[in-house]
Every structure is written in structure tokens, then in C-alpha cells.
Amino acid sequence: MTLEEKVYLMSGNQDFQELCDDCTLPGRHYNHLPYPAGGCQRLGVEDLRFCDGPRGVVCGTGKSTCFPVTMLRGATFDTALEREIGRAMAREVKASGGNLFAGVCINLPYHPGWGRSQETYGEESFHLGEMGSALMEGVQDEQVIACVKHFAFNQMEISRFQVDIDCDIRTEREVFLPHFKKCVDRGAACVMASYNCYQGDHCGENAYLLRRILKQEWGFDGFVISDFGWGISDTAKAANGGMDVEMPSTVLFGEHLLQAVRNGSVPESAIDEAALRVVRTLLTFAQDRPPARESVLGCKEHIRLALQAAREGITLLKNRDGVLPLNRRKIKKLVVLGALAEEQVIGDHGSSQVFPPYVVTPLQGIANAAPGVDVIYYSGENIGHAKDLARQADAVIFVVGYRCTDEGEFVSEDMSDLDGEYPGGDRTESLGLHPKDVRMIQEVGPLNPQSTVFLIGGNMILMEDWKDSVSAILMAYYPGMEGGTAMGEILFGDVNPSGKLPYVVPVRAEDLPPIQWRTTHQHYEYYHGYARLEKQGIAPSLPYGFGLSYTTFAYRNPVFRREGDSVVAECDLTNTGTRDGAEVSQLYVGFSHSAVDRPVKLLRGFTRTFLKAGETRHLEIRCPVEELQWFNPETRQMELEHMEYELYIGASSADRDLLWGSCVL
Amino acid sequence: MESYVYEAIEHGERCPVNVFITSIEISRFHWHYDYELMLVLKGSVAVNTLPAPFVLKAGQIYLFNSTQVHELRKTEEDNICLFIQITSALFRGKSEGNRRFQFYLNSQSESNMPAIGYRPFIRQAAAIGLLSTSTNPNPNPYRLQSKLYGLLADLFEFGVYDIHQSAAGRDLQQDATTLLNIIDYIRENSQEETVLEQLYKHFGMSEKTVYRFLKDNIGLSARELLLECRLEKAKYLLQFTDKPISFVVDVSGVGGENTFYRVFKKSTGLTPLEYRKRGGPTSGRSEIKGYLQYSTSEAVMLLKKLCAEDNNDEMHQRTASCQHPAGQTDCESDDLGRKSLSDVGQPGLSGTL
């Protein structure tokens, strides 16, 4: 391979004007066709053909399956289902003409206000790693290259192009990197670097992150691609820093990179290494790649998976006096309030937007689930009318929360001129509902004894100022193209909800770590999320891992022990209610005996079990001892503290939901 | 149920709307698929519909929803009303065959006030009325459509409305056909004692299904609908024939003479004999005939007045609309409104004044 050929492998072939046209011309959209990069015709090396995600394949219009957003799938705690979804997405990537899928987003929302939280699985590193690697493995099962993104420290949207993140070494290694490492350990073949800076350097040209940690320490053997357009800023720095492929167009690589090699500012060995990584990966994945016909796009089986995820992920947060499920035979008139009920609540309109053949809205889904019921929708604009309707109805459903103008991908404030919509970005103002929705719930909710709120959103929504005004609350996230169907089924009890919160719901926003959304610098503290609240002794509104069911579960006879290189928690789990249902059981490990500052406890295992009413099963959750390590700044490595660890097993992170014991390691 | 006395304005296929001006004497309980906007130009009209009867006065507006059962009656004062009948197809997208829009536009009521008030609706309705009067011999169908769509836009943007959503796959058009068939069947066979039993058999629907279906669609049970049909027939015979009352009782199918008297009195407030002597529900029939000859110019004058009243209201409207979150659009609709004012001064119209 000539130097020119090798350099050609290292950047995107997407014409920039073409890319702009995609985003502005009617009938097209961002990534409506895969974006090509590299390739070598002479030697028969295929090009990379990039398809974005992560709630399905972005390419095409009216074809691909729109799955629930990643956050909802995080709430399923179902790694087997996530792997199946990965396979389905990969088949659709191939059917769209792609071979590289950027659907594995595992950034940790340091603060739930992050506008793109919906694209990731939740606040907990262990859970992120397990769910993300399950998707990655599913994608790669189909011989499609999975791209894990955005490496790293990318959890602020508005300032993503400018912000420089710093944190101490323990925060870096224990909180923000382990989930990336897990995906790399399990075989991820591609990593996308993020836009932001880490400790002064753009992540796309950050030798510490890309060369030292990712490639040397973790032994990553795949290739690194840049985030789009603004991912790198300096040819030599990027190439030397470990960037293998500039995306999606050739701007700073190509001729500039050749020049840099010729004038000695980039050693040819760096080019050789990048070329080797790209070609090696392509050859591996081109082998025996099962083909996929176009007919797999939005096929029955894939849509069934999307529905299954919505059924498992939607989370029941409150159910006063068992008001849910609604009884079809007793409900004659059902009122649905809130404009989101009528909308396609599938999530952001940024790079993750999928264009499915259809979307079942919440309203349609609820009406479908209750063919004999008079289902009346009203936007809620006029409170007086909403009240009249609520008084006359047998039950009231509020569908409230966010749309892409409230949270989502953000390029600049000027973007609002392009499509007339204000760009989402981070939730800088409030983590609660819109004031008019709060007022509607407060005034209308108490008028009907069977009142339920469905929340639509990508991450935690504060509930304190209205939660007592209604009987039941469900978090529906952005539940995908069949989300309305799942909402209807859950409302009427055809499906028993089993999702669990992949984040903590605090009482007040002040309980979360301080953050400046519009900034050029942000420090990340060691504690965030439930670990932060527990450490500070602050009771949450709802704990991490919380979610109700229409049945009840009892945990009994716990046993905790060490077995080889694992800690094991066992117990009997009984469905003590009258309905069949699934339960997500969680293993936490506590560090109260630590000699250093460590969290009270951390999630270190989970499993999902389906139990018929009255059925009992024996549960066993294992966790490798390695997962209990901390990063010792003095020795600069992960180490196991030899001490007594508390082990907990139960239904959520709250003490009242856990059985516990201990284990000496 | 063809009980309107009306002056039809034909606009051909280019406008999905039927506009007419009339004086209401009585329009007995009826319904239609069209949405129907009613603007009282003069006097007042008693409106009998769910949830409660009320009187609509001059300058007030009301929107009857598709399939809403209603009855209109003259009050003590003479009236002139504008009706705008809008096909329900305009309210549905292609894939929306399984939903029905129900509006709450009633300027007589305090609740459910549109975010921009009633004024723009009254103004636009009056403008549509002006474009459609017989004094305007060659109405521009596109102008009329633009007014109509302007009004619909305001209705959807600022009006209060619900959507009755059915399960996917259920087609309300299909339901509409079924409904018409059921009603026709009842009307044609109302003298049969067992008409309902025959109906269930004929349509292959259970009594319960028919009950729910009718209640959902027109708010009446099969039994109530049957009684309405039978009374209609009886009233017709009383009013327009000399058939003996015993014959009327027999043919109506309402039951024995005693039952018939009781039910008839309850419905009309009159005994059958009194009804016949009066020549119908009220005695003002000849005046209506006269109305058609003299009222057109009066109606045009009233319509112009309703448009012109706006000038005084404009300031008030503007302040009100600025408080609305979507203030920008409000102003646009005000602009539309002002345009409609200038439209009124078309040469064809001003010539008739």
C-alpha cells in the first residue's frame, strides 16, 4: 500500500456540500445514506459506510425500525434483549448499505440535565457497561462494526464544542471510563472520540485518552474515528494523538496529512498503525458477513423487539391504592390530556433521529387498547375545559414532558433559523415539567380519583410539586414507534410494567452536582447521581433502580459468599401477588470499611426474572471481584481493598428494598 | 329530518362549504355529518342540544359538531341566522378516519372561550356570509375558501376542541354509513311494533351493540330514536293531512291513544288536536315566506355591521392576543381579519346597499 493509499483510508469521502444538502433539502436528512470513508479499490479493501444510531438506523425514510431510546432500554435492565436489538439494528445497517454502526452511546450523564441523556443507558457506570456491551456484541454478531461513543467525558451538550473537562484521576478511572473499558474488553472494534476537551486537549487529538489509555493500557485493537466536522482541529496533533479516521469529510487529513508526513511532523509509523487498524478491522468484519435484504428494514420481528423493549422499560413510579391497571369493563369514558399524547414521542431530532414507517402515538395506543371505551383527547390548553372533562370521565391520563425543543442535540442558537425550532440542548432552566403542565396536573388531577401521569423524557424529571395530585405515575421515556401500544397495554394491565429507573430522582435539583451549562470549563466531581445522594445522606424522591409492578415480589433467604474470583448473592424470589410479572433484581456492594473515600454502595450486578403469580425461583447474581476495585492514585492502578464488603440484593438501591450480608475479600 | 327552511347558495365543487341565511321557525331534532357554524344576525334562537338548552342572541356564534343532535326554535322575536355547513372531511387527514373532532365554540357561554376570544370567529363567519349572499352574483370561490380556511386555522389554533379517538382500523366513515342505514331502517319501519328486534336481526348487531353505537354517535338510544321518528310522522300527518287522530295514532306506532297523547304532549307541549289547529308548532309560517323577499339587504347590512364592529374591538383584541404565548400568530390572524374588512367593500356588494 502506498502512503497515499494509507492516508486515503484515514478520512471520510463525504462531500461536504452534499452533507449540508442532506440536512436542508426536502426528502433528505442527515445520514439518509451511509457516509463513506476510506477504502482501497486497487486492493479490494471496502470503504467504511457509517450509519448513525442509537435508537435504530438513521438512514432512509419511512423504513427502519425506531426502537425506544437508549434510556428506556437502560430501564429494561435486560442485556439479552439489548443484544437481540443490537442484532436487529445491525441487520438494518446492512440493509441500508452500511457496515459501521454508531449506535453504542455510553456517556454517563453526570447531571440529568444533559440534553442527550436519552441516547445513553443511565447514570451508573456498571450498568452502562453491561447494557452498552450487550448492544455492541449484538451488532458485531452480525459482522457489523460497532462504534462506541463518545470517548470521553461528553455529557454536556450546549458547550460540547468548547468545554474543557477536568476531574481527578479516581473520578476518571472509576466513574467515567470503566464502561468504555468494558466494551473494549468485550471486543468493540471502533471508538468515536468526542468533541469536548479533556484536561486541555480535544478528545479527538488527546494522546492521553486515545494512545495511552485506549490503545496501550486497554489494548484496543480497532480504530478511532472523529466526531463529525469539528472533531479534530490540528492535522499533526490528531494523527499523533491517535486519531485514525477523520469523519465525515476529508478536511484536515488527506493532503494535509500527506504533507505532515512529508515534512516530518507526523511519523509514517502513525499512518501505518492507523491503516493497519482500519484494514485489520474491515477484513475481520467483511468475512462471512451474513447479508441482509432490504425487507428486514422495519420488519415484523424488529418492530416486535421495539415493542418488547417498550413493554419492559416503561417504569411505574407510583400506583396509589392500586388504581392501575384500569379495568376495561368499568371505564366507559377516558380522558387523555396533554399535547404530547397526540405527538410522535420518539425522541430528539438531532443525529439520532430515526424515520420509521409509522409511529403509534400515546393517544392511538391507548385507544387501541380500549376499543370499547370513549377515549377523548384534549390538549389541556384551557384548564376549565380540562376540568370539565376530568369530572365527567372515569379516568384521566396526562401525557406530559419533553420534546426535541426541550432537550436534545444542539449545534448553535442560530440553528433555530434553519427549521424554525429552538434547538434543544441541555435542560438549563429546569428539571421539572413545564409550568403549564404542572398547573394542569395540580388543578385537574385531584378532580378524578383515577388519574395517571405518563412522563415523556430522556432522563430524570422532578416530580415534587405535582406528584401528590395524581394517583399513578409512569415514566415512558421516548418509547419508540410502538411506544403508544406499550403505554396502552400497561395502562389496562395487558402488560405488567417491569422497568426500573436507571437514575435517581432527587427531591431537589440542588441535590445534584453543580454544573455550568454554558461554559468553557467544567470540573466533574467524584460523586454524582445516587452515589452522591447516599454519600451526603440525602433521601431521594425515588431511589436508583426503583420501579413498581402490578404484582408484588418478596426476597427471602439471602446468602452472600465469595466463589473464586467472584462475589455471589443468592436468594429466593417469590411473586407474592396475583399477576404474572417480571422483576429486576439488583446486587449492590458497600464500602463502609474502606480506608479511603468510597461510595456507600454501588450497583455491581442485576438480573431480570419472570415469575408467574405465586411462583418462587432461586436467584443468583455474580460479580467479578475485579469490579470492586478502586484506582490507587499512588500506584496508578486499579486495586482491590482487602476488607469486609457489604453485599445487598433486592428490588432497588433503597435500604428498605434490600437484604444484606457481608463478605471478606 | 329535512326540516330547514333555507336559502341555498351553490358554490359548486370548488368550495366544500354550504352557506345560507334564513329565519328559523323550527328545525326539529336532527343531525348531519357536516359541522355547522351558526351566527345569529338578528333576534334570537332557542337551541336545544346537549348538555343544556340555551338561547343564542344576535351577534352570537355557535358551532354544531358533526352528528350532534340539535333542535332550533324561534323565540318571541323574529330572527335572521347565518349557517355555514362545513363538510367533516375537512377535519380529517387521510389516515385519520378513526378520529372525530369535537369543538366547543359557543359565544353565549362563559367557559371554553378561545384564546383569541369569539370576535375573530364572528368576523370571519360574517365575511363568509357576505361573500355568499345572493347579492354577490359571482362569488370568488377561492376568496371564500381562504376565509373558510382562515376560520378553521383559528379554530384549531385557538379554539377548544377534543378528539374522540377510536382504535386503529376502525373507520368512522364506515360507521357513518352504518349509522345512516340504521336510521333509515328505523324511519321506514317505524310503524312496525317490533322494528327494533327486526333491526338487530337485519344488521346482525346485538341490542347492546346498537345501543352503544347510537349513544356514541348521536347521543340517543334506539328506543329514543324510534320515538322521535314516530312523533315526526305523527306531526306531519297532523299538520299536512286531514286524517283522523285515531288513524295518526295507529300509523305512528307510538302505542295506544293514551300513551300517544302523553308522549306527544311531553314532546311538543301541545295535544295532537291543538297541534293540528295551530297548523304546526307555531303560527308564524306566512311571515317566513315574506322574509325571503325583504331580508337579503337587511342580512347584508347586519353582516357588514358585524364585520365593522371590529374596528372598536381591534385594540382590545390586540392586547388580549399579546398575552397569549403564540402572540405572533395572533397578530397574523388579526391581519387576516383586517383584510376581510376591506374585502367587504367589494364593488359587487357595496352596490346593493
Does residue B281 have a pLDDT over 60? no
Of B111, B113, B166, Cβ closest to residue A367: B166
DSSP A489-501: HHHTTSS------
CA–CA dist A407, A427 (Å, integer):
6
CA–CA dist B167, A357 (Å, integer):
19
Least confident of A435-439, B72-76, B96-100: B96-100
CA–CA dist B130, B300 (Å, integer):
6
The CATH fold of domain A310-523: Rossmann fold (3.40.50)
Confidence category of residue B273, pLDDT binned at 50, 70, 90: confident
3-state secondary structure of A217: helix
Give the residue-averaged pLDDT of A526-538.
98
Of A364, A368, A385, Cβ closest to residue B111: A385
B141, B182: one domain: no
B222, B324: one domain: no
B165/chain A closest Cα distance in angstroms: 5
**Pairing between strand A374-378 and A333-337?**
parallel
**Bridge partners for A472 per DSSP:** A319, A452
B258, B200: one domain: yes
User: What range does the domain containing B84 cover?
Assistant: 12-165+300-350
**Residue B7 domain flag:** no
* CA closest to A362 among chain B residues: B165
Please choose, from the candidates A209, A109, A102, A104, the residue with its C-alpha nearest in 3D space to the C-alpha of residue A152.
Answer: A209
Confidence category of residue B100, pLDDT binned at 50, 70, 90: confident
Q: How many CB pairs under 8 A join A and B?
A: 52
Residues of chain B with Cβ-Cβ distance to A378 below 8 Å are: 160-163
A373/chain B closest Cα distance in angstroms: 8
Residues of chain A with Cβ-Cβ distance to B212 below 8 Å are: 372
A330/chain B closest Cα distance in angstroms: 15
Confidence category of residue B172, pLDDT binned at 50, 70, 90: low
A342/chain B closest Cα distance in angstroms: 10
Encode A380-440 in three state secondary structure: CCCHHHHHHHHHHCCEEEEEEECCCCCCECCCCHHHHHHHCCCCCECCCCCCCCCHHHHHH
C-alpha cell at B190: 317505524
Does residue B342 have a pLDDT over 80? no
Express as a percent the part of chain B with pLDDT over 70.
75
Confidence category of residue A2, pLDDT binned at 50, 70, 90: very high
**Residue B221 domain flag:** yes
pLDDT at B288: 36
Containing B106, the helix (H) or strand (E) segment is none
C-alpha cell at A660: 444484606
| Alpha helix segments (H runs only) across A575-648 | none
Pairwise CB contact (< 8 Å): B163 & A376: yes
The class that CATH gives domain A551-664 is mainly beta
**Residue B204 domain flag:** yes
B156, B183: one domain: no
CA–CA dist A39, A61 (Å, integer):
26
**Residue B1 domain flag:** no
Confidence category of residue B295, pLDDT binned at 50, 70, 90: low
Question: Per residue in A375-431, pLDDT tens?
Answer: 999 999 999 999 999 999 999 999 999 999 999 998 776 554 445 555 789 999 999
CA–CA dist A297, A302 (Å, integer):
8
B159, B201: one domain: no
pLDDT at A600: 98
pLDDT at B71: 84
CATH number of the domain within which B104 lies: 2.60.120.280
Give the residue-averaged pLDDT of A281-289.
94
Does residue A488 have a pLDDT over 60? yes
Look at the alpha carbons of A28, A29, A32, A36 in this order and tell me if their dihedral is positive or negative.
Answer: positive
pLDDT at B312: 53
pLDDT at A544: 98
Least confident of A119-128, B163-172, B186-195, B261-270: B163-172
Give the residue-averaged pLDDT of B160-172.
84
Peptide bond just before B176 cis, omega within 30 deg: no
Who's near A410: CB < 8 A, 6+ residues apart? Answer: A115, A157, A158, A160, A350, A423, A424, A425, A426
B83, B152: one domain: yes
Higher pLDDT, B15 or B69: B69
Domain boundaries of chain A, sorted by first residue: 3-296, 310-523, 551-664
Residues of chain B with Cβ-Cβ distance to A389 below 8 Å are: 162
Does residue B10 have a pLDDT over 50? no
3-state secondary structure of A511: helix
B185, B318: one domain: no
Residues of chain A with Cβ-Cβ distance to B166 below 8 Å are: 367, 371, 375
CATH number of the domain within which B205 lies: 1.10.10.60
**Residue B4 domain flag:** no
pLDDT at A18: 86
Domains contained in chain B, number:
2
Higher pLDDT, B315 or A487: A487
Does residue A42 have a pLDDT over 90? yes
Catalytic residue among A47, A164, A227, A244: A227
Beta strands per DSSP E along A152-296: 164-166, 190-193, 197-198, 201-202, 223-225
**Residue B5 domain flag:** no
**Residue B102 domain flag:** yes
Beta strands per DSSP E along B110-233: 161-165
Give the residue-averaged pLDDT of A618-630.
98
B167 to chain A, any CB pair closer than 8 A? The answer is yes
Pairwise CB contact (< 8 Å): B170 & A371: yes
A361 and A338 Cβ atoms separated by less than 8 Å: no
Containing A37, the helix (H) or strand (E) segment is strand A35-37
CA–CA dist A408, A401 (Å, integer):
13
Confidence category of residue B87, pLDDT binned at 50, 70, 90: confident
Is A22 one of the annotated active-site residues of the chain?
A: no
Does residue A247 have a pLDDT over 90? yes
**Residue B3 domain flag:** no
pLDDT at B3: 31
C-alpha cell at A590: 458497600
The class that CATH gives domain A3-296 is alpha beta
Residues of chain B with Cβ-Cβ distance to A370 below 8 Å are: 167
Give the residue-averaged pLDDT of A24-46.
93
Express as a percent the part of chain A with pLDDT over 70.
98
pLDDT at A270: 97
Question: Per residue in B302-326, pLDDT tens?
Answer: 999 998 875 555 444 444 444 444 3
Who's near A381: CB < 8 A, 6+ residues apart? Answer: B115, B160
B30, B147: one domain: yes
Pairwise CB contact (< 8 Å): B104 & A385: yes
pLDDT at B310: 55
How many other C-beta atoms lie within 10 A of the C-beta of residue A541? 18
Higher pLDDT, A21 or A340: A340
DSSP B278-322: HTSSSS-HHHHHHHHHHHHHHHHHHHHHHHHTHHHHHHHHHHHHH
B41, B85: one domain: yes
pLDDT at B107: 94
Question: Per residue in A142-199, pLDDT tens?
Answer: 999 999 999 999 999 999 999 999 999 999 999 999 999 999 999 999 999 999 999 9
Least confident of A412-421, A439-448, B232-241: A412-421
B55, B153: one domain: yes
Pairwise CB contact (< 8 Å): B165 & A377: yes
pLDDT at A660: 97
A235 and A257 Cβ atoms separated by less than 8 Å: yes
B148, B30: one domain: yes
Pairwise CB contact (< 8 Å): A378 & B112: no
C-alpha cell at A646: 457489604
The length of chain B in residues reads 353
Q: Which of B269, B285, B313 is the last residue of a domain?
A: B269
Mutation site for A-interface testing, chosen from B113, B116, B165 by largest number of A Cβ within 10 Å = B165
* Residues 83-142, chain B, touching A (beta carbon < 8 A): 98, 102, 104, 111-113, 115
3-state secondary structure of A256: helix
B186/chain A closest Cα distance in angstroms: 24
Question: Per residue in A456-467, pLDDT tens?
Answer: 999 999 999 999
pLDDT at A545: 98
* CA closest to B168 among chain A residues: A368
Question: Per residue in A546-573, pLDDT tens?
Answer: 999 999 999 999 999 999 999 999 999 9
B161, B39: one domain: yes
Mean pLDDT, chain A, integer: 96
CA–CA dist A93, A110 (Å, integer):
30
Residue B293 burial (C-beta neighbours within 10 Å; 0-12, 13-18, 19+) = exposed
pLDDT at B311: 52
